[in-house]
Amino acid sequence: MLVATYWSDLPGKIDAAYENPLEEKTVFFAGNQMWVYRADQLEKGYPKRISNLDLPADLEQIDAAFNFRKNQKTYLFSGDKFWRYNEEKKKMDPGFPKLIADAWNGIPDGMDAAFSLNNIDYSYFFKGAHYFKLDDSSLKIVKLGDIAKDWLGCCPPLVRMAPRRVSALPRQQSLLLPAVLNPFVQETRLTKTHIIRGLFLVPIRGILLTLVLLLTWPVAVITTFKHPLKGSVEPMTGWRRFMCRMVMAPLGRAYYFCMGFRVVVKGRQVSSSEAPILAVAPHSTFFDGIVCIVAGLPSTVSRVENLATPIFGRCVRCLQPVLVSREDPDSRKNTIREIEKRAKSGGLWPQVLIFPEGTCTNRSCLITFKQGAFIPGVPVQPVIMRYPNKLDTVTWTWQGFGSKTLLLLTLCQLYTTVEIEFLPPQMPTEEEKKSPPLFASTVRKVMAQALGVPVTDHTYEDCRLMISAGELTLPMEAGLVEFTKISRKLNLKWDHVHKELEGFAVMAGSCKGGRITIQEFASFLKLPVNPALEDLFALFDRDGDGTIDFREYVIGVTILCRPANTEDVLRMAFKLFDTDEDERITRAEFSALLRSALGVCDLNMTKLFKEIDADGSGFITFAEFQAFALTHPEYAKLFTTYLELQRYQALQESGELEDLEEATQPGPADQEMDSNASDKKDD
């Protein structure tokens, strides 16, 4: 329906709109002007310039606007910045504008629309063909969806730079962005009330915790006295087991009680003979150790170094942990063997408790499970953890507060609630016994369904890439690629992805937010923006937002450029340049072809020529051409794209294209088969 049907004074196209809930008015934006309506009546004096909202006089337009349900304030977005407007005071809040990337984690710049509804705890942001669903309470993105699929009747805006290829085959869905973009980030905002409260609570709790530790340490020493950690280790029995269950466990509960933890247990824990392994997720904090106390001090997997920690090292020994050593090259193999031995002991050993995610997340999703807990092929009891608190002071992620700060913040709270739920044991099928990844996936789906969160293919290797991205002066989140999916689909090792990250950092080092626009892409390739380059850029830009992030880059290089870098393709490209067929390319030949290919008459290719001419001889041999293409795979795909364009233009000029399209028009059966086609490697 046309906008003019209800609001006749509005222009044909508006940029943004929002509803002011305090005055029940609707505000529209188009260019640098704004209109305010009460129902369908335009308020007197409008339209006005958007600078009347204390916005910059040179601001050309508002991209999106919405009134946030939680604080009743209006957020105005333009480009990479946003402003917060106080509707009650009729003025802009101080300290704005701010960068979208700094305050709205995962929300893209230059969005198309945004809105928030009453009685719904979510806000929605739209960009290109996708939308982002934001949890208003945690300010975390809980879903990235397809507009055309989930918003019936709504058509996403056309991508500004559509590929010009002869056929635009659909991309499959398996390499699209995950439902949660960054599960390794956490932001907590404190009020003055929390700080003042902490001044009273922290000293009292500090004294109580010290007293509990003074009682716990001698009990732990007695319990583990002369009990071996290595060699022929046997499970604790008799008085040692009694001390663990009847003394150490209550002391552990007292320790967490002194910190203010209120524990809610749901479900029933089964015995070791029924389910030898407990799989706990999501793993989000060092406070998760409370599940060991609730579960009756089962065995855990722990680093050898943890045993050397004063006081706590002795407590860890009471758990009879499966020890992992970084110095032992066979440690992983020995750890799996020990877990399998205990899991198949027929109940002699206590249950083995494992956090299969292998690293801490922000509980917004379940990342890839490691296989260790599922290799024995025995029943596993899933255990899920929740921290349903208004203020999150426990989440310990790669981007967030450190452990000491989180401990202090938690001690400042009156109480911290933790829910531990034991789900029914999962019995592996015969197929799952033979395939630990399949069993791990099944258990993860059950746990995710109980938690009501999505699953993603992130893993600890993504954290390593995040650290590397930070060291390369990129935003840490730039390193997130869903490593499990990328490595499986594209057959890539971590070292290879890390190498690509280093190359991407060279290209994106000066870019805002670690995303490359076509201008930076062209600058890196030392080429002007032209149709062939736009086609290549559009192939990389999977979500059509006009930028390339590292995930899109590594997928594009692997799927698009590496296959085009075969010796046959390079030979063909070399012959294109070598017009006199003397097995070498002169500067004149090199520049002449590129000027023709790119349609730029005054193109200066001196820098690019010198970079390929490694020995400085003044001409390029095939060996130099091949070596350069292998380290700069983008060029190989650029030339094949150019050749495809030339073929397409030749078909158009000869009139053969229409005949070709008619001859290849698919029938119903062909259309069904083509729906599974892709311009990507088999996803």
Q: Note the pLDDT tens digit of each residue in 608-617.
A: 888 888 888 8
Is the CATH number of domain 565-632 3.40.109.10? Answer: no
pLDDT band at 430 (very low <50, low <70, confident <90, very high): very high
Residues in the chain: 683
Q: Give the pLDDT score at 650.
A: 52
Contact between 598 and 563 under an 8 Å Cβ cutoff? The reply is: no
Q: Tell which residue, 182, 359, 389, 215, has the closest CA to residue 286.
A: 359
The secondary structure element, H or E, covering residue 588 is: helix 587-598
In 3D, which of 524, 515, 521 has the Cα closest to residue 552? 515
Burial 57-67 (b: 16+ CB within 10 A, else e): eebeebbbbbb
Mean of the pLDDT values across residues 645-651?
A: 51
Most trustworthy range by pLDDT among 44-58, 94-108, 581-595: 44-58
CB 592 within 8 A of CB 576: no
At 436 the pLDDT is 92
Q: How confident is the model at residue 232 (pLDDT cuts 50, 70, 90)?
A: low
Region(s) of the chain under CATH 1.10.238.10: 565-632
- C-alpha pair distances (Å), 297 with each of 259, 318, 319, 556: 19, 8, 6, 48
- HEC profile of 197-234: HHHHHHHHHHHHHHHHHHHHHHHHHHHCCCCCCCCCCC
Contacts of 35 (CB under 8 A, 6+ apart): 7, 9, 10, 27, 28, 42, 46, 47
Pairwise pLDDT comparison (167 vs 43), residue with the higher score: 43
- Strand-pairing partners, residue 267, are 422
Average pLDDT over residues 552-560: 76
Give the count of beta carbons closer than 10 Å to the beta carbon of residue 655.
9
Average pLDDT estimate for 462-470: 80
Give the range among 112-116, 134-138, 379-383, 435-439 with minimum mean pLDDT.
134-138
Alpha-helical segments (H) within 307-352: 312-317, 331-343
Q: What is the spatial distance between Cα 569 and Cα 566, in angstroms, rounded to a whole number?
A: 5
Percentage with pLDDT > 70 across the chain: 80
Percent of the chain residues past pLDDT 90, beyond the cut = 20
Confidence of residue 99 (pLDDT cuts 50, 70, 90): confident
- Which range has highest mean pLDDT (153-167, 245-259, 588-602)? 245-259
pLDDT confidence tier of residue 177, bands split at 50, 70 and 90:
low
pTM tops 0.85: no
pLDDT of residue 381: 96
Mean pLDDT of the chain: 79
Which residues of the chain are in CATH 2.110.10.10 domains?
Answer: 3-150
More confident site: 194 or 617:
617
**How confident is residue 510, by pLDDT bands cut at 50, 70 and 90?**
low
Among 222-236, 287-301, 386-400, which stretch is predicted with the lowest mean pLDDT? Answer: 222-236
Average pLDDT over residues 306-326: 82
Q: What is the pLDDT of residue 513?
A: 67
Q: Please give the distance of CA 199 from its chain centroid, rounded to a whole number.
A: 37
Q: Name the fold adopted by 3-150.
A: Hemopexin (2.110.10)
* Stretch 370-374: mean pLDDT: 90
pLDDT at 642 over 70: no
